Amino acid sequence: MSFQVDWQRVLPVLVSIGIIIAIAILRNYSKTFAAIAATMPINIPLGLWIVGTGDENVDLVAFSQSLVINIIPTLFFLIIVYIAFRLGWTLIPAIAAGYVAWGVTLAISYWIRGG
């Protein structure tokens, strides 16, 4: 019986686990380094790798453009979470507000692009 690993499926999971462990360790030494690890562009190269498995440069151009546009709602998520914490909110309500802002911003950007 032959066993082959589908690295395109396994690698994102392994990298995500590694990042979570790195953040857990780094937070004890430096909040700044933990924040850098938390915001590293890990999923972007993995997404590019999965989308661009061949020589489909046109696909990679379109995918990269979508990445640039779709990072904006993520930025809004972070801004709202930051503001909520500054206002004294606790973790769950701050994250929930961030996701609401992310969803609204994503819907607006989707609507502007014409669906």
Report the domain count for the chain: 2
DSSP 114: T
Domain stop point among 51, 69, 87: 51
pTM of this structure: 0.74
Residues 40, 60 within the same domain: no
pLDDT along the chain (115 residues), means of 10: 75 82 88 83 80 75 90 95 98 97 94 82
- Long-range pairs for 94-102 at CB < 8 Å and ≥24 separation? 101/73, 101/76, 101/77, 102/73, 102/74, 102/76, 102/77
User: Within this chain, do residues 47 and 58 fall inside the same structural domain, yes or no?
Assistant: no
Structural domain boundaries enclosing 34: 1-51
One-letter amino acid for residue 104 of the chain? V
